[in-house]
Copies of this chain bind each other. A is one copy, B any other.
């Protein structure tokens, strides 16, 4: 089903027919062929239009009739993907102009990002040719598009089911890793786009598209530099009132900035400036791709916490101390519970080797529904607490021989507690212990099914909860 929006970029994500230029007719072992990936990706995503491979000599590519030039293709082409060497792009562009192609996407790299003037010159000429002909360009130096609904994918292994998460990325590697990591977290995608050097279409264009795109409810991004900061700023301010926008910016150190220049010719700018830019626009700024994915997972699955006062449970003594350190280092507070909560807990929790202070350590009793129900009720009514982070002892359950029954009990207790408490309960399911890995993956799966996110470390949970509380504070100004 092709979406019928009227935005100028709609046909980029939903082209009728596509040409893949420069694809080789046979694959070599240990040498990925990106041209073939585009074709296989579209097959895997059940692309509804026609696919036209283009190659000077090949007659057939993966079962598709192959044309010598774009201008030889017998039907209209909305999108031409260039996987040719940089030296022949001007020639291919001429053909695209003749063919009245609407969009070109250049996987081809080796332009301004090399720092060489002759290559930058080719890029300039190419941009001018496209502009004069009214062709919009994606790239150069980028992986391009993944849109399950439109039938496009830059890798053959991407999931098929469409969803509500969008991602735009200056790096193809980040875009690919994003898809895999987000899919591990059972997120599904509206549109993912890697745009590289952004010689024509840039971050702001995609942001503008996602603002009006009804299929997109939540947006992530990896960027290295902005070419039109003012426009980006204005659109971001509109978006963040209605859709969460989470951005991972590369090039925050001196070495990273230098690497960004040679990667996408981007000027990274000061990271301090970037942070204040995010604060003003309600953008959730993150510092790793993992943090981005877990923030997007949480923001779609949890109510936003109305403050940063966190109850913590699930560690024994040493864990209580170190989890508190981590939470407070991440910007949260682990406060005293109210006197009422402490008094009530004292009645039901055995006194020795436990703690009814925060962090809570109520022993194996925390896995029993009755005591946890009561705890959830007390935390619901405790004005000192905005959310609960619950470290789930899956490794311990496995080693104690409590089996899947033990994991079931823990999950059931947590989900019931979530219903009672009405403030976010954030389950942490650690995956850094080989022995407990199978139980951890099982628990993770179950939480996703129940609509809750999970986090692989307490640190990540604390960081994300802090992000969500900041975003809630920003949004509350407009409510």
Which A residues are closer than 8 A to B by beta carbons? 29-32, 85-86, 108-110, 114, 141, 155, 157, 169-174, 177, 180-181, 184, 222, 224, 248, 250-256, 258-260, 262-264, 287-290, 315-322, 324-329, 333-335, 351-353, 355, 357, 359, 364, 367-368, 395, 399-400, 402, 406, 431-435, 437, 441, 456, 459
Contacts and interface: CB of A to CB of B under 8 A. Distances in A.
A222 to B, nearest CB: 6
A141 B361 CA distance: 14
B433 A329 contact: no
15 contacts: A30-B402, A169-B318, A171-B319, A171-B321, A173-B317, A174-B319, A252-B325, A253-B329, A255-B324, A256-B322, A256-B324, A256-B325, A259-B321, A263-B317, A288-B459
A434 B110 contact: no
A110 B351 contact: yes
B435 A357 contact: no
Nearest to A318: B171
A296 to B, nearest CB: 15
A222 B320 CA distance: 13
Contacts of A170: 318
A444 to B, nearest CB: 9
Best-buried of A254, A290, A326, A353 by chain B (most CB within 10 Å): A353
Nearest to A395: B180
List the number of copies, as a whole number: 2
Contacts of A264: 317
Best-buried of A155, A335, A400, A402 by chain B (most CB within 10 Å): A400
Nearest to A175: B318
A29 B368 CA distance: 12
Nearest to A310: B255
Best-buried of A255, A316, A431 by chain B (most CB within 10 Å): A255
Contacts of A259: 320-321, 324, 334, 357, 359
A321 B459 contact: no
Contacts of A319: 171, 173-174, 177
B435 A316 contact: no
B321 A184 contact: no
Contacts of A433: 180-181, 184
Given A288-B459, A435-B180, A253 B324 contact: yes
B357 A321 contact: no
Q: Which 7 A-B pairs have the closest CB atoms?
A: A171-B318, A256-B325, A253-B328, A110-B352, A250-B321, A174-B318, A263-B317
A325 B31 contact: no
A279 B317 CA distance: 28
